[in-house]
Every structure is written in structure tokens, then in C-alpha cells.
Amino acid sequence: MTRSADMHVLLTGRTGADERDAWLRALREAAPSLTWWSDNDGDVPRELITAAVVANPAPAALAGMPNLRLVQSLWAGVEGLLADGTPPAQVPLARMDDPAMSASMAETALWAVLSLHRRFFDYAAHQAALDWRQLAQRRAGDVGVLVLGLGRLGGAVAMRLAAQGYRVSGWRATPADRAGPAGIAVQAGPAALAGLLAASDIVVNLLPLTPATRGLLDARFFAALPEGASVINLARGAHLVDEDLLAALDSGHLDRAVLDVFHTEPLPPEHPYWTHPRVTVLPHVAALTDHRSAARVVVANLHALRDGAPLAHLVDRARGY
């Protein structure tokens, strides 16, 4: 077993200097006995690095590290890492699974669902037009919410919405041979999707971005929703076909969209989403990383590596998430 003082860990990524320094501070505080290196150190002893902690690393950032035994992502979504092949194929890749992030995501989803259900976006528009108008009010239990993806984030969202009284169903990839979150009606696989959509007033997307889910939210998907439904995308911009969403909104088939993620970020100033009266734009803030909490998650995995214990949150590269 390698002693912790012997473990050299590299923090690498194309983040700003402030972000890098915030991570280093949090990681050093969580594991002072490990030897930490970062891109800021000119003389990283690459042959000694046993683990790399990465956030959007440069393509060659992990080359020439013969002792590398773990690549730990600071991000929950790892589609970029899988696409550019930065983590060597034989080295385990772990993703971020931070309880603080799941809690933030559940808050954002709850705000968006509640605002749609209780028409608070409409009331904000009415206020801008000095328009005093009372709209019909539904009970939470009469509102069907479908959560796409019941993983770390989607699972937390589904439970939070169910606790708030919504009629929540969930969709995932693998057949329901294991229990889903309590109180959530779970279905799996492509054949189940149309039926779930037909019964949903609001859809919350929390799928990972994979070849099977890229562009899933398209014209056919929107057509399967009942008239007046709304869409909340908190996962990745490339899940959504923008022109199809705009067409479904402009035809009146869909009521509203709440979007946190986009094909190009920052969202370009000329993009129609910015000024669309029934689109709410957030600047990818649905669940920001909590450095202290995430550092503890990272360090738990580094200690598992050191101790020869099972690694957590490993990515299944064949599956893509």
C-alpha cells in the first residue's frame, strides 16, 4: 500500500486562475497529507502522479504519467472527457457525485416547476405590462411532471418534486428491475417514452449527454406532449433541437421553456432564446459546484485509491455515463 504522503495528485484543467486556486485550497484543506500539484507548477514530476483531478483538461494534460491510476472529474457530465480521449483508456475515470450539487439541482427544478405550475412567469410578464389579472390555479397533485434520467441529480429532483405533491414519473435507460425513488412511477427504455410524455404537463431533462440522448428533445418529442406542456432543460444544450423547440413554442403547442444549458455557452447575444417571451434563460447555474463539498467527494476517492478500497462514481465508458 502506498502511504498517503507518497501520493502525488495533479489538479489540471482549463479554468481561470481564481477557480484553480479555489479548488487547490479546498482540496489541500480536505487532504493536507497528499502532495498536490497544479498546472501552475512548472516542474510537475509526471512520473510520480498517481491521480489526476480534472476540470476540462487540455487534450495532452495526462500524457506521460506511467503511474496514473485514477482520473477524477470535478464535473458531473463527462461527455467531453469521453469524446476527446484525454483520460487514458486503461485508467479508471470517476465523475463528480456531490450531495450539495444534487440539493442545488433539486432547488432549481422545484423553483422552475412551481413557477410554471403557479404561473409565476406569466405574472412577471403581466407586471411588466401593468396588467392586473388572476389566472386559474391548479393543485400540485393535478400536475404531471416527468423527470428524464433518474441518476444522482434526476433522482434527487424527482423525490423533491414528489415531496411537494406533484404527480411525478421518471424515465431511465435500464429496465425497472431495481426500485426507483419512493413514490415515483418509473419506466425505462425508448418504447416507454411516448406514453410518459402524453401524460406529462412538465418535463424536466436530467439525462447524460450520450449518442442515444443527443437531440432527443426534438419535434417528435414535443409533439408527443399534450398541448400547453412546458419543458425544463437542466442537463446539456445538445439534448435539445433549438429550432424544434422554438417552432413548438411559436405554434402554441408548448407553453414555456426554462433553459439552463445551451449548445454554445455563453449563449450568443443574437440567439432568439434571450428575447423570446416564453423562454426563461439561466446562465448554467442550476447546480454550481460547491468546492468544499466536492473536495470531500474527491478526497474520499483518493483515499480509496490509496487504501486499495473500491473506487466510487466510476464512469462506464461503453455506456457513456
Residues in touch with ligand NDP (CB under 6 A): 76-77, 149-154, 171-174, 206-210, 212-213, 234-236, 260-261, 284, 286-287, 321
**Is residue 284 annotated as a catalytic residue, yes or no?**
yes
Least distance to ligand NDP, CB of residue 38, Å: 23
Least distance to ligand NDP, CB of residue 160, Å: 13
Q: Pick the closer one to ligand NDP by CB: 109 or 305.
A: 109
Max CA separation in the chain (angstroms)? 70
Measured from each CB, the residue nearest to ligand NDP is: 151
**Is residue 236 annotated as a catalytic residue, yes or no?**
yes
Q: Which three cell numbers stand for residue 137?
A: 390555479
Q: Pick the closer one to ligand NDP by CB: 45 or 283.
A: 283
Q: Pick the closer one to ligand NDP by CB: 263 or 284.
A: 284
Least distance to ligand NDP, CB of residue 209, Å: 5
Query: Distance between terminal CA atoms of the chain?
Result: 30
- Of residues 20, 236, 296, 313, which has the active-site annotation? 236
Q: Pick the closer one to ligand NDP by CB: 117 or 172.
A: 172
Least distance to ligand NDP, CB of residue 96, Å: 8
- According to DSSP, the residues that pair with 73 across neighbouring strands are 54
Least distance to ligand NDP, CB of residue 168, Å: 14
Q: Which three cell numbers stand for residue 279?
A: 423562454
Q: Pick the closer one to ligand NDP by CB: 247 or 281.
A: 281
HEC readout, the chain: CCCHHHCEEEEEECCCHHHHHHHHHHHHHHCCCCEEEECCCCCCCHHHEEEEEEECCCCCCCCCCCCCCEEEECCCCCHHHHHHCCCCCCCCEECCCCHHHHHHHHHHHHHHHHHHHCCHHHHHHHHHCCCCCCCCCCCHHHCEEEEECCCHHHHHHHHHHHHCCCEEEEEECCCCCCCCCCCCEEEECHHHHHHHHHCCCEEEECCCCCCCCCCCECHHHHHHCCCCEEEEECCCHHHECHHHHHHHHHCCCEEEEEECCCCCCCCCCCCHHHHCCCEEECCCCCCCCCHHHHHHHHHHHHHHHHHCCCCCCECCCCCCC
Least distance to ligand NDP, CB of residue 306, Å: 25
CA separation for the pair 169, 171 (Å, rounded): 7
Least distance to ligand NDP, CB of residue 189, Å: 7
How do 254-259 and 49-55 pair as beta strands?
unpaired
CA separation for the pair 77, 313 (Å, rounded): 12
Q: Pick the closer one to ligand NDP by CB: 74 or 248.
A: 74
- Of residues 28, 69, 126, 284, which has the active-site annotation? 284
Q: Pick the closer one to ligand NDP by CB: 18 or 177.
A: 177
Catalytic residues: 236, 284
